[in-house]
Amino acid sequence: MKGRGTNAIYVNTMDLTSGSWSGWVRQPGAMRYAASLVASPSYLYMAVTGMDDRIYWRRTGPGWPPTWSAWLPVPGGFTGSAPAITYERLTNYWFYLAVRGVGTMDIWINRMSSATLLWSGWVKVSGATWYSPSLTVDRTKLYLSVCGGNNRIYWRSADLGWPPTWSAWSTTPTGSTDAAPSIAIYGNLLWFAVKGRSPSTSIWVNSMSTDTGQWSGWTRLDGATPSPLSLAG
């Protein structure tokens, strides 16, 4: 979490059985935008946009409070929004990262081996967005979603290889937003969560079957937010 009105970084954990929280712990460093988290079988990874627009990452093993590795920059990486990350557990345990460029609508993706900590190199993805992209992965595919320049919600997929060979961009059947969408895989469903287009602060979710391509339709959740949402899975 980014402290309100500051660039400080805080983390917290909740016990899913009891619902109790560990308490906020401030982390070293500072960031411009929201932090991104993803878990592997052995580590929790964090990525942020630094105050110099470079992209930094670190990881920690289990336990509380977390014992983080040092912040490391992603080689050649700069962004004007929050980075998106996901972790692929099936083949070579790749840590994927997607960003938009600084002052541009360009979309870029990179990946790092969790064994060697070596990066594959930045690859430009066709398409454009003014907001953070969103990433998730299932057993066979990598999924990417963005808010387009027309405020429609777009997504595409790629088989797990490098560089990714993407499907064509598709849009959700309805729906629009003026913030970064968030996606996650749960079972055979690709979930989407977005805030409504301003002045709306409503929260909406939708899901698509990765087997049939059928959509559940948008459901409004109680609550409101002026900021992008975040899903994990």
Question: Does pLDDT of 233 surpass 70?
Answer: no
CB 180, CB 147: distance < 8 Å:
yes
Dump pLDDT digits (tens) for 9-34. 999 999 999 999 999 999 999 999 99
**153-181: average pLDDT:** 97
Residue with tokens 């627009």: 53
d(Cα 71, Cα 58) in Å, to the nearest integer? 5
**163-187: average pLDDT:** 97
pLDDT tier at 92 (50, 70, 90 boundaries)? confident
d(Cα 57, Cα 112) in Å, to the nearest integer? 11
* Token representation of residue 13: 């954990």
CB 82, CB 129: distance < 8 Å:
no
Average pLDDT for the chain = 95
d(Cα 217, Cα 208) in Å, to the nearest integer? 9
| Closest by Cα among 125, 144, 142 to 134 | 144
Dump pLDDT digits (tens) for 36-86. 999 999 999 999 999 999 999 999 999 999 999 999 999 999 999 999 999
**Eight-state DSSP code of residue 52:** T
CA angle 123, 127, 128 (to 5 degrees): 105
Kind of pairing, strands 107-113 and 94-100? antiparallel
Q: Provide CB contacts within 8 A for 218, sequence distance 6+.
A: 174, 175, 204, 205, 206
> Would you state the pLDDT for residue 232?
86
> Would you state the pLDDT for residue 3?
60
Question: Does pLDDT of 1 surpass 80?
Answer: no
Comparing 32 with 90, the larger pLDDT belongs to 32
pLDDT tier at 2 (50, 70, 90 boundaries)? low
DSSP string for residues in 86-155: EEE-SSS-EEEEEEEPSSS--EEEEEEETTT--B---EEESS--SS--EEEE-SSEEEEEEE-TTSEEEE
> Would you state the pLDDT for residue 4?
61
DSSP string for residues in 3-19: PTTS--EEE--B-TTT-
Question: Does pLDDT of 91 surpass 80?
Answer: no
Dump pLDDT digits (tens) for 183-199. 999 999 999 999 999 99
Question: Does pLDDT of 5 surpass 90?
Answer: no
pLDDT tier at 117 (50, 70, 90 boundaries)? very high
Across 34-38, 197-201, 229-233, least confident range: 229-233
* Percent of residues, the chain, with pLDDT higher than 90: 94
Domain ranges for the chain, please list them.
Answer: 1-125, 141-233
> Would you state the pLDDT for residue 89?
84
